[in-house]
Structure formats: structure tokens, C-alpha cells
Structure 1
Amino acid sequence: MINKLASFFAGKYTRWVTLFVWVAVAVLLTVALPSVGGMEKNNAPNLQANSPSVLADETIKQYFPSGAGVPALIVWHRESGLTDADYASIQAVTKELAENPLEAQRELIPLHLMPLPALQQFTSEDGTTLAQPVSFEEATETEVLKENMEKVKELATAAVGNDPFLVPIKGASELSARISGPVGISIDATGLFQNADFVLMSATVLLVLILLLLIYRSPILAVIPLVGVGFAYAVTSPLLGWMAGEGWITVDSQAIAIMTVLLFGAGTDYCLFFITRFRQELTKESSRSAALIHAFKGASGAIAMSGFTVVLSLLALLLAKYGAYDRFAVPFSLAILIMMIASLTLIPALMSIIGRKSFYPFIPRTEEMEKERAAKRGKTYRAEGKRRTISDKVGKLVVAKPWTVTIACIAVLGVLAAASTGIKYTYDLMSSFPENMPSREGFTVIQNHYAPGELAPVTVVVRNGEGANLAGGLTALREVDHVSEPKASEIDAVYSSLSVILNVNPYSQNAMDAIPQIRDAAIEALKNAGIVDAERQVWVGGQTAAQYDTKMLTDRDNRVIMPVVIGLIAVLLLLYLRSVTATIYLIGTVLLSYVAALGLGWLILHHVMGVDAIQGAIPLYAFVFLIALGEDYNIFMISSIWQKRKTMPLLQAIREGVSETGSVITSAGLILAATFAVLATLPIQVLVQFGLITAIGVLMDTFIVRPFLVPAITAILGKYAFWPSKATSVDESKQVHYE
């Protein structure tokens, strides 16, 4: 069947049919279906509908509607202290907003009706900052909010006499202003990703093209993988856009950005696996069709296995409860599936059409063809001896000193893995944005000039709480600064709410740890007051509570998805290699390199780049990609060793397998690592951290695990590396010995 498939793609006429089908499908889908970029939804919820903080927010909206809505915080600041003229300007803006409300604007605190002493109560203790909330209806479109904030800036400029939003926060004697809060963050985040897809794709294409030209020095060969990836993207994008339009999936800018990188990185790798095999066969076969059939037969299994490994690993993200993880599953797995199909259909067809000229100016020829070529030129053909490459030397080393190589590799990776124990995590989305982003600047001003807990109070809602000493029980907690008096609901008086002000940063780990304590304290107060079923009478909401739920869901997803991914890969490896031993050490080596990548990534991010904590989502993101993509290289190399083992002694098969796959896997690893590193150019810390750690992991797999550790372990295990499958019997006495 494999020969028939290869013959079809290499056929005189059918290769053109294959190319036509890809062109037709890409054009039809692009014309008929929407692009995925137009279907992005960047404000999709990440928490489950039954998450405690979400239920609390729903309860607050229902029974305390005056506190509901999406707030924008206009942060007014003057380093020397706000003046009477500043307060007058703030009141003028407020008066205009009250008399001429913006679209979807909700209730507004009437600062313009307050005397100066009352107005100063809203100011920070040092008198430098006033955070003015302006609330808008839930689900207001980001574009509408952006237009509203532009109008606010116009009003502020008219009231102040100059544009305070352009005045630096530090070092200026003038009044400055920034828009923060959920509205400001939403607007700024959308702006960051506005052209990210185009910029990222352009940078990735240029980078891959340059690397291919440097590595292979062939302009045609450098373009072929990009053509394959381009067609795969042209098919994937409208399919995802259609699925998103039907409501089957949700896509956001972050997922599409990473999908683009993954498609170009992994897609180029699959193309190179086939192209390299084709190049080798062209030095043995004078017929390009025969060479292509042999190349397809030799590479298709490893490519298909590698592709399915990544696809199934990414589909495991569907088991996630946290929305950001779940939204990655379908776009990533579909992109890899289509790219795998393209590398096994479109690329062979293109190579068959172009033939040996694909490798111009370094065209591969058989020895007979070289002799004929020399004869036509009137020269005598002289066969060149095989050049010893670095891969040859590595192959010789791992079979000569496998124990030394294994111990050295494990020692290096182990030390780096140990560094991962010191990683600190954050679930604060704001810390992922650039420090000079306006909404983060405003956030920082509030953080620096107000009491820590006032930045994001925790709201506690209770039912039937009359007579309970709620404030006393909550104030007794170590992390609580003070608690407001209970406020009864105007909708249903049996509901009351309290605002809990923490004495620690509400986005810190200590604040998150206080959430279950706050809930338990409220429940205990109700029980002491004789309230039955007190556990169902308490809701805890606010941003700190939402972060706590995020951590809980993330921890749960890590516990579920990581074992599932390992299990899926183990099953695929068992089916492909039919060896329990090989499955164990192939998975074990990539797990070790994954933890080492986390450790080295943390050392660079923390000690070099000054990052205090990495985003809590990074470990799972990096795990799924590094485990799946790391196995790609192992599969491709071990497949070569397995095939050669049938015709030669094991150590010789290992040496030649390492030598044969060394250049292509090194090239593929460099390209994949470089494409992930492109993510570090984006102004989003979560992508910078993910791109850096994943690139490090790919490089470790490329330069440590694949060339040294895996073949060295295989050499140590000998025939047991195949257990329980029976390797083809080869006379080991014919084994070449290495010193």
C-alpha cells in the first residue's frame, strides 16, 4: 500500500493531480469560509461556570446590581500631590460624563457634586492619586469601549488644558492620567494582538527561509517546505474560522499566535525528514520516481508516527477545565494533522515535479551519473571518500563509551532539572503585559499609592447572615486589614455583602491562600449564629478569588492531562516499536529534558531577565509541546537504528543511525527552536516565557537527548532495548569495535 501511495504522488500525471487538489481545496476554503483571524474572541472566560468565584460574581450581579458592570479606572496622578485645579478638572470630566453618558455607561460616582473635603476621601493617603471608576454594561464590545475611552481622553484634555494621558507617570510635574481596570486592560490587550498574527507569521517565514538557505544553500529547497506550510495554513485557517463561526470552538489571539509558530516549526521539520531521505535515495537511484518511492517508504512511517504523537498529545488538552488550555486543543491538533498530510502528499508531489533540481546547485547524483557527467566534460571521474562529519564522531563516541555519555548527560540534565524546584508561579494576568502599557502603568500607580488590598477588595456575600459576627470573624484573619459593615441587598434583604480589604498584595500567593480561609471564617460565623447548611449560604468573589480558582483548575489540569499525554505517547510507541524497554527510556529521556528546560528557563528568566515569577500556565503548555515534539526526534532517529539493526550488528546500527539522522534532526531542531524563540519578540510575558522555555527544551532534545543520551542507553541495553520484540538475528561477531 505504501508503494502504491508513493507511486501515486510520484506518478507522471497523478503528481499534478495531487498539486491541483491542494490548490483547489485551499482556494475554495479561503473563498467560502471565514479566516480564523476574524473569529478571534479574546475575552472568552477561562473559569468554569460552576467555579466558586464565578458563582459569586453571578450572585453579586443579581442581588447587588449597583456594583455590577465592567469598570474602567481613570487614574489621576501628580507626584507632588493633586492640586485644587486638578480636582476641578476631575469634577469637570465627571460632570460631562454624568450629563452626557457614554454608550453602555452605567452608574457614575458623582464626584462633581462633592465638596473638596469629600472628594479628597477618594484620594490616596499621600494625596498624589485618585482612581475614578466608570462602569459599563456587561458584554460591551471592545471597540465600543475603545471609542468611549477616546472620548474620555478628549474630555480630560479639554478640562486640563493639555493631554494628561501623554504625561509621564514619573519625573513630570504635571497632572498625568491613565485608564486601567478591566476596560483599560481589555483595550490594551486587543491592541497588542492587533497585528501580532501578521508580524509573527512574517518574522517566522523570514527566519525559516534564512535558516534553510544557510543550512542547505539551495534556494529552491528552502522554498519547498514553506510552500507546504503555506498550503497547510491556507487550509487550516478557514476550517478553524468555520468551526469558530459555528460555535464549536473558541479561538483567541494567543492560541493563533502559537499555532502559527507550531505550524511553521513542526511543519518544516516533517518536510525536512522526507526531503533528506529523498536526497539520500537520489545518490543511489538514477530514477527519481524510484528514489521517491524508497524515500516515502523509509520516511512515511516515522513522519506519520511523529504527527499522530503530536496530534493526540494536543487533543488531550480537551480534557482541561481551564478555558485557555481547552481553546488550544483543536487549532493545534488540526494544524499538525493537516501539515502531516501535506508533508506526505504535497511535498512528495512537488519533489517529483521538480526532481533533482530541487537541490540546485548541489544536485545529488548516483555514481554512474557522476561518471557520465565527467565523461561528457572530458574529465576522469574520481570518487570522493566519505567525509567524516560531527555526527560520525558523535556516533562513534556513544557506542565506544556509552556509560560515560549516559552519566554525563543525566548529570547535566539532572542539575538543570533541580533548578526547577525553585520556580515561583504567578496567576496575575497583568504581570504578563509590558510595563509601559497604559493600563499596567495605571495599575502600578494604584498599587504604589493605595493600601494593597484596596486595589482589589474581596467581596463576601452571605444569605441569612443576620446576627452572625461576620466582620469579627473575618478581621481576625492574619491577611485581612479591615472589613466593611455588611450591606443588605435592595433586591432581597436576606442577602448581605461585605468588602474585605487585605493587608497583602491581592494578586500574591499569600492573598490567594487567604481565600479558603475567608470562606471558612464566614461559614463558621454563620454556624455560630445557628444558620443551617451554612456552606451553601456563602459566596466569595473578586479578582483574588478568581485567581485562586484559576490556580485550582490549573493544578487539576496538570494532574489529569500530563499522565494522559504520557499514556497516549506510550501506547503509540508500543504500537510502532513493539518494545516496552524502548518506550520506557524514550519517554523517560524527554521527561528529564522537559524538567531540565524548565530549570534552565527559570534561571535565565529570573536571574538574567529579572522575572520574579513565571505564569502558572507555562508548565502544562511546555509539557505538551516538549514531550510530543521531543518524541518526534527520538522516533525519527530510533526508526533509523531499528531499520539498520535488521542488516547489521546493533552498535554499528547505532553509529550509522546517529550519523545518518544527525544533520537533518539538528537542522530541524534549530529551525523549530528558532520559530518558538520568535514568540519572545512579542510584548506578552506569557508568550516570552513559553517561547524561551520551549526553545530551550527543543535544543536540549536536539543536542543532548537525541544524539547522545538515547543512543547511549540503547547501546548499554543491547538486545534488551528491543524487548519483548525479537530483533533480526545478526552475527554480533562481525560487530565493528570502537576505541
Structure 2
Amino acid sequence: MFKKKWVRVFFPAFIVVLWFIGAGFGGPTFGKLEEVSSNDQASFLPANAESTEAGELQEAFTDSTAIPAVIVVESESEIPPPELAQYQELATRLADVPGLEPAAEGQPAVVGPIPSEDGFAIQYIASVADDAELGEVIIELREVLEAELPADAEGYVTGPAGFTADLVSAFGGIDGILLAVALAAVFVILLAVYRALILPFLVLFTSVFALATSILLVYAFALWGWIELSGQSQGILSILVIGAATDYALLLVARYREALTEFSSKWDAMRVAYRASVEPIVASGATVILALLCLLFSDLNSNRSLGPIAAIGIVFSLLAALSLLPALLLIFGRSAFWPLRPKAGTHPAGVHGSNVTGLEGLRGTWKRIGHLVSRFSRPVWVVSLLVLAAGSLGLLQLQASGVPQSSVILSPSNAVDGQDALARHFDAGAGSPVIVIAPAGREDGVLEVLESSEGVAEATLVADQAGAVIVRDGNVLMRATLDYQADSAEAEELVRQLRTDLDAVSPDALVGGVTAVALDTNVTAQADLTKIIPIVLVVILVILMLLLRSVVAPLLLIGSVVLSYATALGVSALVFNNILGFDGADASVPLFGFVFLVALGVDYNIFLMTRVREESLRIGTRPGILRGLGVTGGVITSAGIVLAATFAALGIIPILFLAQIAFIVAFGVLLDTVIVRSLLVPALAYDLGPKIWWPSKLAKHDGAASSSSDPKHRADPELSEVDSTSA
């Protein structure tokens, strides 16, 4: 097909042009993602969550869909009553900010001033219109406070609107800064590994074009309402595509470079490299894609949406690595590796014969590791297992039941400071009350439960201006102000207790509000963890069995990556609690960490074991293990470092969830690359020998090697002799 010269020139150019067109349309779409993105926690809950149902019923009690903002003024000295008139004027100035609207008919856009009992603070309640630019409104409110307040007073805008604005601000510039940091890290690593000036650009072009084209589909899905796009899923998509596309590219580049030392024709070299690479790359990509799609079983909309979003990115990573990169490599040929161009005829002679060890022709670190594995296979895998098991003990300190909203943003936040000021001078739950919807006629019993509950500062029944109880669709609405901050663990526990107590008085009563949303989110996320992990493991196990034509080897690989995940999570828990001083972890962190680490960790084992199986068919299992370890060691380690560096880039976004995911995945990938894939898996496989291929024929016939020539049964002096000659 590709023998004619014009075809060989036209076909690669045609592929590159197609990707340029896709990237040309997708690139500008980056700036439009915010238009279809939401960071509202309530929108991520399932429709059957109690807080969701309460929120829907609450809408009947107001014509407004405005988002409440709590404005707090804290003074260094006590505010005398005569000065309250000045703060009434401040309410008028605040109400002049465009984008505010009354929360209910007959109410002003800004309610207040409400003085604190200690006389050191003033509170206002404002309502930001649903169709207003939230960030701009909050900025203007803060500017008014800064301009109007005396020197000894400080103003804050907090509450749901303030926190949302600060959260969106924390994600600001995510596309530019995050991509710049990730791409710079990848470029430096590729430059150090290959010492080639052109190749890093070809790999980066592959990754960037994969991301740019995937954005088109993600944007369309979000625009049509098929998925819920958030700032955190947007950041994860960028990092995942760059890391995965680079990993797949490195595997193909390694086989292509190896083939160029054997063939003078770049087309022949690509044909051999492509055939050798396509199966492990496709299998690795399919593993990650299916693992991510398992998130569709999640009840949490944020988890369920991330599955297809990330899977789309991996699909385009695969397509780019298997089409755009080969085309670029064919266009540049050996020049891609300049100044260290591979020369034809320098490929080491093939390993043949009945006395091969698998280490022939290898040198340096991977040869030494091969010797270590062959001579001390059992001690190596036992020690590796014990090290990983010791690290996993940190799981006992993992606090992944959710964190206060004030701890989510790691950068300075006016909303967080305002929440602290609010708690110092008012009931801690002021501004974010618990909402209770109950059937009309049951309000007295429900109100009695609320007022008698320890931790409830005040409970009121919503009435009209004439004092008559408002009834909508047969329900009444009550608000309960708590003694605890709305985002605290104490508040969540109180909501849990209120639901239990109210069931005895009115089984149809529903508890909602900010605290209830946080509680339902954490409970749903923890339920997702126990449901999705077994599904992911079964899916990956089936893929590995089909790929390796074995049962034992896939079980070995699955066990190793699960242990690696447990160790990464355990060590991360110790770091989060004792070094970084985090208040805990988001309830979704263990699930995302599992999906990314297990799927990506299996990737490297697929790269290793497919090459081991290829070599085992030629020279036998144990020599094949050493050979596969030696020839893939460099490229897999490089891929692991690249992926760890790209995920670490997520840490620049000052959001607790992303910072924790960045550390867990980066550390876990390095752990998997250095210990699991380099020592544990090869040593355990070497110790088991041909049994790892059971029940395939390779388990009985062991490729080209007979049992008598198996290096497991040969004395170490022979290995030493090979050592000395190849050195």
C-alpha cells in the first residue's frame, strides 16, 4: 500500500493536516469551557438525595432563584448604637451593586444591618440574581466594603455566593498555567531521557493535539446537558490526556528507535514498531477507558460525569499516539532523534540457543536489576511486599469523610475569612440555615423537635408579611440556625440526628440546606467507593486475561496494583495529616485515586508483561522475564516519571481535592514504577516461572526454552560468566 513514493509523502502529511484542523477548532474552545461549567455542589447530587428533594420543594416558597451572600463587617472596637444609621446607608450602597435582587417579594435586595450581640460586628444578607455574573457581583460588593468602611473595620462577603466566587477564582487561568507547567515538565524529562531536540516537540504536539480535539466533544456534551462539567474535571482532563498520550507515545518511540537500528528504511522500522506497539497501547488505553466508564455506576453526578469526560480524553490520546505520532515520525525519520540518530545495523544480535539468560546485550542499571531478580527472586518480592504492606498501614489514619467548605480553598479567601468572622460574632450557622420541609399540619411537632435539639440556636416557621404560615403544595417551610458552622462535621452530625428524630414525628419531613447537601455528598461518595471498586477490578482482570491468555499473571498484576494503591493512599494519609496539616480529605479522593492509580498502574504492567510474553515465546519464561524487564525498563520508568510530573502539576491549583489527587497519583505512579513494576512483579513472576501463563500452552511448553535450560535450574556461576563477557 505504501510502496509508491507519492503515497509515502502524501499519507503522513494528510494525517498531520487532519489533526491540525481538529486542533484548530478545538484550541479556541478552551476559553468557552467556563460557559458550560458548574461548581455548584448541589447539582452533583442524585435526584433521590433528601437534600435534593428538599431543595426542589423549597423553590415553591420563593419566586427567586438567587444565590445568598452573607456580608460581614467586623470592627476592632465596639460599634455604638448611634452609628448603626451609617451602616444602614452602607446597606443602600451595597444594594446599588448591579446583579442583586430581593430574595422574596417585598424584601430589599440587601437585608440588614443586623448587629451582633457583642456589638463588634454587623451582618447583611444579599441575594445575587441567578443570571448575574456571580464573580463580578462579589468583587463589586467587596470593593464597596473596602471603600466605605472605616479604617478599624474589615468587610467580608461569604456564604454560598462568596464561596462559589472564590472557588471559581481559584480555577481561574487553569487552562494556561496548568498546561504550561505540565508541558514544561514533560519537555524537560523527554529532553533528559532521549537527549534529542526534535523528538520532545513531536511528542508534545501529539499530546496537545489530542487534548485540543477532545475538548470539542467534551464541550458539546456539556452544552447539550449530557454531562456536568466542573473546574476539577476540566483540570483532570488536561493532565490525564497529556500524561496518557505521552506514555503511549514513549512506548511507540522506543520500539521505533529500536527498529531503526535494525532496518535502513524508516517505513520498515515503523511497520515493525507499530505491530509490536499497537496491542499493548490499545490494551492499556482500553483498560483506562473502561475503568473510567465504570464511574457511570456512581450515584454522584460529579463522579459519573468525570467518567465519560476523561474517557473521551483517553480515546483521543490513543488516536493521536497511533496516527499523528507515527505520521510525524515518518516525516522526520531518523532526524527526530538528532543529534543521536540511530544507525541501521547497530541492533544487537538476537538472543538464541538453549543456555540464554535473557540478560545478553543488556548493560547498566537494568542488567544489575535483572541479576538481582534472577539470583534472589524470592527475597526481592518478599521484601518488596513487606515494604508496600508497611506503607499501607497509613490507611488507618485516612480521614476521607469530607472536609469543611472553608478548607476546600487553599489560597487566601475572603469568603473563608468571612466565615470565621461570622462564627466569632453570630450563631455559627447564620447565613446558611438548615431547611426543613414538612407536610402542613405537622409543623408544631417538627418545630418542637427543632427547638429542643441541642445545637439548634433558633428555629422559625416561614410566614408571609401578615404572619400567616405559608403553605405550598401541602407543605410548610422551616429554617433552623445552628450553633455550628454550616460546613463543620458537628453540623453534619446534627443534620443526621435531626433526620432520625423527625422521622418519628413526620416521616415525610425533609431536611435540606448547605449542611445537608454536604452530608449527602459525602455519604453518596463513600457508597460509590464500595460499589465501583469491585466493578473496576473485574473489568481490568478480564482485559488482562484476554491480553495475556492467562489467569495467574492477571491475578498477580491486579494484586500488585491494588497493594500499590493501598500503600500510596496510606503514605498520603500520613503526609496530609502530619506534614501538610490538612483537615481531612474529600470523600471522593479514595475513589478517584483508585481509578487513576489502578488503571494507570496496570498500564505499566501491560507494557512490561506483553513484552515478557513476546520474549517468553522465543527464549522461555524466566529468560523472557529478565529480557522484558531489561528492554522496557528505561521507557516505562520514563513514562512513569512523565505521568507523575503531569499529575503533580495539578498541585498548582489551590483546591484541596486536586492537591490531594495530585500527590496520591504522582506518588503512587512513582511507587508503582520503581518498586512494583521493577522489583515485585518481575521477581514474583520469575519465582513462579512458567506457571504464570496457566492455563495457556506456554505454561507447559515454556516457549523456546526447555525445563533443562531454564535459568532457574542453572547455577549462578553461569550468570556470572555471562556477566563478565557482556561487561
Normalised to the residue count of structure 1, the TM-score between the two structures is 0.87
Unaligned segments of structure 1, at least 5 residues: 163-173, 371-384, 526-533
Residue equivalent to 2:19: 22
Which residue matches 2:252?
274
Paired letter, 2:273: A
- Alignment partners' CA distance in 1, 2:153 and 2:191: 54
Aligned residue for 1:615? Answer: 586
Does 1:394 pair with 2:369? yes
Match of 1:698 among 650, 659, 669: 669
Given that 1:392 and 1:656 are in contact with CA atoms closer than 8 Å, whether structure 2 keeps it comes out as no
Q: 2:141 aligned to 131, 152, 163, which one?
A: 152
Which stretch shifts more, 546-555 or 723-732?
Answer: 723-732
Distance apart, 1:269 and its partner CA:
0.7
1:35, 1:238 within 8 Å by CA — same for their partners in 2? Answer: no
Contact 1:16–1:349 (CA<8 Å) still a contact in 2? Answer: yes
Cα separation, partners in 2 of 1:391 and 1:51, compared to 1, 3 Å: same
Instruction: Tell me if structure 1 keeps the 8 A contact 2:68–2:128.
Output: yes
Structure 1 residue 578 displacement after superposition: 1.6
Selected match of 1:688 from 646, 653, 659: 659
The whole-number CA distance in structure 1 between the counterparts of 2:3 and 2:297 is: 37
- Once the two structures are superposed, residues 322-373 of structure 1 have per-residue CA deviations (whole angstroms, 9 ceiling, x without a partner) of 1211221222111111111111112112112211121111111134799xxx
2:499 pairs, out of 489, 506, 519, with 519
CA displacement at 1:279 relative to structure 2: 1.1
Shift of 1:649: 2.8
In the aligned structure 2, how far is the partner of 1:455 from the partner of 1:151? 20
Q: Hey, what's the Cα distance between the residues in 2 that align with 1:9 and 1:639?
A: 35
The 1-side partners of 2:655 and 2:319 are apart by 32
Using the TM superposition, give the Cα deviation of residue 287 of structure 1 relative to its aligned residue in structure 2, in angstroms. Answer: 2.3
Counterpart secondary structure, 1:106: coil
1:490, 1:636 → 2: CA distance?
65
Partner of 2:618: 647
> Conserved in 1, the CA contact under 8 Å of 2:100 and 2:127?
no
- 1:738 deviates by 6.6
1:357 paired with 2:312, answer no
1:424 deviates by 1.1
Is this contact kept in 1: 2:66–2:101, CA < 8 A? no
Q: CA deviation at 1:37?
A: 5.3
User: Partner residue of 1:626?
Assistant: 597
How far apart are the structure 2 equivalents of 1:476 and 1:569?
Answer: 52
Aligned residue number for residue 732 of structure 1 = 707
Deviation digits for residues 88-124 of structure 1 (CA, Å, limit 9, x no counterpart): 432112234568985434359779999xxxx6xx433
**Preserved CA contact (<8 Å) 1:434 1:440:** no
Is 1:523–1:535's contact at 8 Å kept on the other side of the alignment?
A: yes
Paired position in structure 1 for 2:606: 635
1:197-251 Cα distance to aligned partner (Å, 9 max, x none)? 1111111111111111112111111111101112212211222223323333332
| 1:12-91 equivalence runs, <5 A | 12-27=9-24, 36=33, 38-43=35-40, 45-63=43-61, 65=62, 69-84=66-81, 87-91=84-88
The aligned amino acid for 1:228 is T
Q: Aligned in 2, Cα 1:9/1:362: closer, same or farther, shift over 3 Å?
A: farther
Letter in 2 for 1:95: T
Find the residue that maps to 1:297 and give its secondary structure.
Answer: helix
- Asked if residue 577 in structure 1 is aligned to residue 548 in structure 2, the reply is yes
Q: 1:511 to 1:630 in 2, by over 3 A?
A: same
Once the two structures are overlaid, the 10-residue window that deviates more, 182-191 or 88-97, is 88-97
| Shift in Å, 1:414 | 0.9
Select the residue among 224, 232, 237 that pairs with 2:202.
224
From 110, 123, 133, give the equivalent of 2:125.
133
CA deviation vs aligned residue, 1:600-630 (integer Å, no higher than 9, x gap): 1111121111112011111111111111100
Alignment CA distance shift 1:457-1:157 (3 Å): closer
- CA shift for structure 1 position 704: 0.8
Kindly tell me: are residues 445 and 59 of structure 1, through their superposed partners in 2, closer, same or farther at Cα, counting changes over 3 Å?
same
Q: Give the RMSD, CA atoms, in angstroms.
A: 3.0
Q: Which residue of 2 aligns with 1:535?
A: 507
Contact 1:458 1:542 in 2 (8 A): yes
Q: Residue 348 of structure 1: which of 315, 326, 333 is its match?
A: 326
Partner of 1:434: 410
Tell me the residue number matched to 1:459. 435
Contact 2:206 2:321 in 1 (8 A): yes
Please tell me whether the aligned partners of residues 92 and 159 of structure 1 are also in contact (alpha carbons under 8 angstroms): no
Q: How does 1:257-272 map to 2 (within 5 A)?
A: 257-272=235-250
What residue in structure 2 maps to residue 197 of structure 1? 175
**Residue 709 of structure 1: how far off its partner (Å):** 0.8
Provide Cα deviations, 1:237-281, integer angstroms capped at 9, x if missing partner: 222223323333332222111111111111111100000111112
Counterpart Cα distance in 2 of 1:484 and 1:609: 39
- Partner Cα separation in structure 1 for residue 28 and residue 478 of structure 2: 55
Q: Structure 1 CA distance, aligned partners of 2:584 and 2:6?
A: 51
C-alpha distance in structure 2 between counterparts of 1:9 and 1:306, whole Å: 34
Give the stretch that moved more between structures: 93-102 or 194-203.
93-102
Kept after mapping to 2: 8 A contact 1:435/1:441: no
Q: Is the 8 A contact 2:440 2:475 kept in 1?
A: yes
CA distances 1:411-442 after superposition (whole Å, capped 9, x unpaired): 11111111112111224343211352111111
User: Displacement, 1:597?
Assistant: 0.7
Deviation at 1:723, TM superposition (A): 0.9
Could you tell me how far apart the structure 2 residues matched to 1:322 and 1:554 are?
Answer: 7
Contact 2:393 2:567 survives alignment (8 Å): yes
Q: How many residue pairs end up in the alignment?
A: 691
Aligned partner of 1:169 in structure 2 is none
Distance 1:495 1:702, change over 3 A: same
How far apart, in 2, do the equivalents of 1:161 and 1:516 lie? 42
Specify whether residues 738 and 414 from structure 1 end up closer, same or farther in structure 2 by C-alpha distance, changes over 3 A only. farther
